[in-house]
Structure 1
Amino acid sequence: MKNRTRQVLASVTVTSLLSILIGGFAVWGSYNTEISIVDNHMETVITDIYSNPSDAITSALLSLDQNSFDFTLAFKTQEGALTILKESQSAIIGSNSHMIQREIGIESGEKLIIAASLTDIDRSLKKNLLGLLIFIIFANAIASYISILISRAGALSLERSQREKMQEFLGDAAHELRTPLTVVKGYTELLEGKQLDSKNQDLAFSRLKSEIKRMESLIGDLLILAELGEQNIVDTEVFDLSALLHENVIDFQTLSPNRKVKIDIEGEIYLNGSEKYMRRFIQNALTNIRIHTNDNVPVTVTLHGGKHAYLIIEDGGPGLPADSYGEKIQGLKRFDRSRSRETGGSGLGMSIMSAVIEWHQGDLTLSKSTLGGLAIEVTLSTNV
C-alpha cells in the first residue's frame, strides 16, 4: 500500500473516531437532557396531584394548564374504561407514536394516565445524527484533502514539519476538549444516578447546556485554526482593509455607546488576502476589548498605509500579564484561562488572531499601550 493511501486512510480513521466520539457524546447528551426535561415536567404534574388527592383530576388539569404542558390526561376506571380528559395532538394514547406514559393511582383504585409525545425529540435526534453524519463526511473530505496535499509536498523536511504540527495540534485539541467532556460526563452520571433534587437537576441541565455550547464553540475555533494551518485552502482576493476596519469599528461603537473611541483610519488601503479571515481578526480584537474591559475604558484604532499596512488596536484596560508582552503566540495559546470560563467562549481568540496574521505573512506584536492596556500591532504587505 502506498504511503499516500496509508496517510489518507489513517486521517479518515482518526477523524471519524474523533468526530463520532465528540459529536456522538454531544448528540446523546442533548437527547437525554430533553427526555429528562419531559420527566421533570411529568413529576411536576404528579406532585400537584398528590398535593390535593381529594380532587386529583382538577389538580392535574390545573397543573397542565398553568405550566402549558402539552400532555394527554386520561381517567381509567377499575374496570379499565378510559376517558380522555385532555388530549395532546402529538400524544394519543393507544397509538403507535413514541411516548412516555405514567399512571398515578388515586382514590377507589382508579387511575390517572399522563402521556407525553417524544416525536419532536426523536425528530431532533434524527436531525442531529444527520448533521453529525454530514460533519463526519465533510471532516473526512478535509482530512483526505490535507493528507494528499502533505503527500505531494515532496520535500522530506516539509513533510516532517507538517507531521509534527498535526501531532501538536491534535495533542492541544485533545487537551482543550478534555475539561468540558469531563464536566459533561460528571453531570450526566449525577443525573443518571438520580442523586440530585429538582432544583439541583435544573442547575445540572443548565451546566450541561453551557458546556455543550462551549464545546461547539471550541470545535468551531479548532476547525478554523486547522483551516488556517493550511496555506492554500482558501483563495485570496483583493479587498479594502480600510472599509472593513471602519465597518467593524462602527459596529463596536454601536454595541459600546459609552466608550470613547478614537479613530485614525487612512482610506483605500487594499490587501491581497482573505477578507473573511481579516474580519474574524478585527472582530476578535474588538470583542475582547468589549468583554474584558469596563465601558469607560478608552480605545484607539489606527490604520496607516504605504509599502505596508500598519494597524494598531489599543485600549486602556488591565492588559495582559507583564511577561506576555512581546511573546510570540504559539499553538493554542491562552493568556488568561479564566476569561473563557467567564464568557463561555473557547479562549482561543488570540491563537486565531495570530494564525490569521501568519496566514497573511504579516507580523503581530502584543505590547503595553500608552493608554495603559493592551496594544495589538500588525504589519501587513499591501502588494496587490
Structure 2
Amino acid sequence: MSFLPISLNLAGKKIGLIGGGQVAAQKLKSLVRYSSNICVVAPEIVPEIEANPAVQCIRETYQPKHIDGLFLVFACTDSPEVNAQIQADCESRGILCNRTDDAAVSGFHSSALIETDDFVAAINSKNKEVKKTVLLSQEIEHFIREREQLLKQKEQLAGKVYLVGFGPGNPNLLSRRGEQLLFQADIIFYDDLLDHEFLARYRGEKHYVGKRRGNHSKEQDEINEVLYQAAQSGKMVVRLKGGDPLIFGRGSEERFYLEERGILVEFVPGISSAIAAASLGNIPLTHRGIASSVSFGTAHGKSSYKIPNSDTAVYYMGASHMHEIATNYLEQGYPDDYPVGLVYKASFPDQEVTRTTIGRLSRREIVAKSPVIGIFGNTVNYGEILKMKK
C-alpha cells in the first residue's frame, strides 16, 4: 500500500471540485465540515451545491487556470479524459488531485470519517472497497459514540464492584455489557483461563487472582478484601470471572462480603462453561424424547460424586476425578455403556470433544484433560438414538 493516511491542515487553504454533479455534491458533504473555502467548477451545477453558502460556484468548462492557487483538487467530472487532464495539470503544479473515477492513480484518497466532540477517526480501504469501508465506519462510529456516552456516565460508577461473567474463555462470547464495563474500569481482577492478550486492550490496572488446583494466587478471603479496598478508594472495579459469576463462581460470596461493608455490587451474567461446552461440543443438555432435565455439579469433593436425579448431569472442574464419578455411576447400577461426553477447553481453538462411556472412563481407558466439562447422559449420543428410532 503506497497511500499514507494523514490529517491535513486546511486553514487558509482553498479546495477545488471540478464537476458539478451528484459525485461532487457527495464529496462536498464531508468537505464543508472542515473548510468554507471551496470552489466548484462546472458548466452545470446541481442546486444542492449552489445552495451551499460555503461554496463559490464557477459555471465554466474546465480550464487549467481554474486550479491555480488550489491546495487540493477533486476531479469529479463524468469524463475520464477530462479527469485525466485535471490530474496531469495538478501534477505539473505540485497540487494533490483525487480522481473519483480512478482511485488507483489518484494523488490522495478521501477517508470515511467518524467525528465526535473530542476527535476524528478516518477509515481507509487498501483496495478502495467503498461499501465495506462505509459499513465498517458506521460500525466503529456506533461503538465510539456508545463508549463516549458510557465514559460520561462513569462518575456514577466509582466505588462500585461489577461481578462480570467472561464466559468460557473465547472473548467473542463475552457479553456486550461486560465489554462496556471493561473499557470503563479503573481496575480489573481476573480469573484463570481468561485471554491475557484480549485484556491488554483495556486501560484499567489488571490483577490476576485466579485459582487452579493446587495453585491459588489468592485465597477467597484475600480476593474479597482486595475488591473491597479498591472500591472503597473510589475506583470502578470489575471482577472478571470465567463462565457465569453465580455458577460455581463464588459471586454470591463476594457480593455478600462487599454489601455487608456498604459497597454497591452488580452482577453481569456470562455464558456458563457448561452451556458453551454443550453447544460447541454438539451435545444437547435436553432433547425431546431423550432428556427433559439437567443438573450441574462440581467434582472437587466426594459430595460432588453423587448421582443427581436428572436425565443429564454436567460436572465442572473435575478432570482428575472423572473416573471416580464414572465408577459411582456403575455402582449405582448404570450400564457400562452409559454415555459420557468430555469437552476439553470449550470455545478455545484447541477444543477437543471426546465421546466415551462410564465403563471406559472408570477403567481409565480414557483420561480427562484439564480444564474439562463432563456431560453424563443419553443426549451425548442423541444422533445415534434418533437413527435407531427411525
Identify whether the pair has TM-score above 0.5, normalized to the shorter chain.
no
Pick the structure with more strand per residue: 2
TM-score by length of 1: 0.27
TM-score by length of 2: 0.27
Pick the structure with more helix per residue: 1
Greater radius of gyration (CA): 2
Q: Which has the higher contact order (CA 8 A, sep 6+)?
A: 1
